Structure formats: C-alpha cells, structure tokens
Amino acid sequence: MKNKLNYYNKKGAMFGLDARIAILIMAILGLLIYPTLTHVINKTKVEAIITNMKMVDLAIEEYIDDVKSVPNTLSNLYRTLPTKAAQQTRWNGPYLLGEEGGYLMPASITWTQVSSNCTSTSSSVRDRMCTYKLSYRFCDITKRVHNEFSTYFSANVNTNVTVSYNSGTSCMDINYGNAENGAYKTFNTYKVQEAP
C-alpha cells in the first residue's frame, strides 16, 4: 500500500514538473514570436494607411475635375456640398463611399496654398491656376505604428515625406505625395482654377 502511495506522489510530482517545463517553453516562444507578430500587424496598418491616402488622392482628383477647386474638408468628398453656389452645381459626389472617419482613414486634410494665380486678374484665364499642397491627419494611431511608418519612409531615401506624431492626441500628420518629379516623390500638389 505504501508503494502505491509513493507511486502516485511521484507521478503527481512529475506532472507538476512537466507542466512547468511546458509553461516555460510557451513563455520563451511567446517572447520570440510577439515582436515579430506586432511588427507584421503594424506594417499591415502602415500599408492600409498608404492605400487609403492613395484612394483619397483619387477622390480629390475626381472632385477637382468636377468642381474645379480643392475640397475644403473631407466631408466634401463624402456627402457635404461645397460652400460656393457655383461649385455646388458642379459637385457630382459622393467621391468616397463609406462612413467619414472610418478605421485607418484620414481624420482630416489640410491645404497649404503654394501659389495663388487663380485669384489674379493680370494673367489670362487659361493661366489662372492656384496650387495647393495636401497634408493628412490620422488619429487613433499608436506610437508603434508611427515608428513603423517613419521607418517605411526612411527606407525609401528618394521620398520627400514628413511624418509627425502627437502622443497627447494619438494623431499622426503626414505630408505625403505621389506626384513624380524626376526620380523623387514630392508633396502631392493640385492645380485648380478656383479657390475653395
């Protein structure tokens, strides 16, 4: 009887040791796999952001073809009409489908006027073009995704992209363009006939 009890005690002790070894192996594997897995997930988010920016670029180009101006806000690409009456009649949207502010979609866009010839009366009507530079803001972005985004663009040395991150708002601002200028990518600029 005593031998039988010793057998069960030893068997239980072996099970406890086996379980601890298995847990240790799983913990080591987790430590090795976790960084790779998070890197892949963050890289996928960066690729989704870039794809969404290109989709917005195409929507803006369609908007400009119709309205002859840049959209004031992202809302103009979804359902909101422009503020000027003449531009409202030419609006043929929506240019983007889905809900505004969707996951990994820009939270806002900002226009910087580079040239203001569209308001000039001295040049011919054909030459009256305003040039605007576009910046994107994405919110609910983690610092890791921002770092991956910065790494992505620093690997492509021929790009002219600035990326900034505000940890207080979890927003990332991107000055990004796909307009080719020789071998270099430059800020995305749009030429329009009317100011927004």
Query: Does 34 reside within a domain?
Result: no
Q: What percent of the chain has pLDDT over 70?
A: 70
Average pLDDT over residues 70-75: 86
pLDDT of res. 65: 86
* Burial class (CB within 10 angstroms; exposed 0-12, middle 13-18, buried 19+) of 118: buried
> What does the alpha-carbon distance between residue 22 and residue 129 come to, in Å, rounded to a whole number?
69
Query: Does 10 reside within a domain?
Result: no
Residue range 115-162, pLDDT digits in tens? 666 665 655 555 667 777 788 888 888 998 888 888 877 665 545 677
Query: Does 4 reside within a domain?
Result: no
Query: Does 57 reside within a domain?
Result: yes
> What does the alpha-carbon distance between residue 63 and residue 112 come to, in Å, rounded to a whole number?
18
> Does 193 score more than 80 pLDDT?
no
Query: Does 148 reside within a domain?
Result: yes
Alpha carbon 123 to chain centroid distance?
38
Range(s) of the domain holding residue 179:
42-192
Residue range 5-45, pLDDT digits in tens? 555 555 555 566 777 888 888 888 888 888 888 888 888 88
Domain count for the chain, please give it: 1
Query: Does 84 reside within a domain?
Result: yes
Can you give the pTM of this predicted structure?
0.71
pLDDT of res. 84: 84
> What does the alpha-carbon distance between residue 16 and residue 77 come to, in Å, rounded to a whole number?
62
Query: Does 97 reside within a domain?
Result: yes
Query: Does 51 reside within a domain?
Result: yes
Average pLDDT over residues 88-112: 83
Q: Which of 164, 161, 145, 141 is nearest to 153 (CA)?
A: 161
Average pLDDT over residues 72-81: 86
| Helices 143-155 & 2-67 angle (0-180, nearest 10) | 60
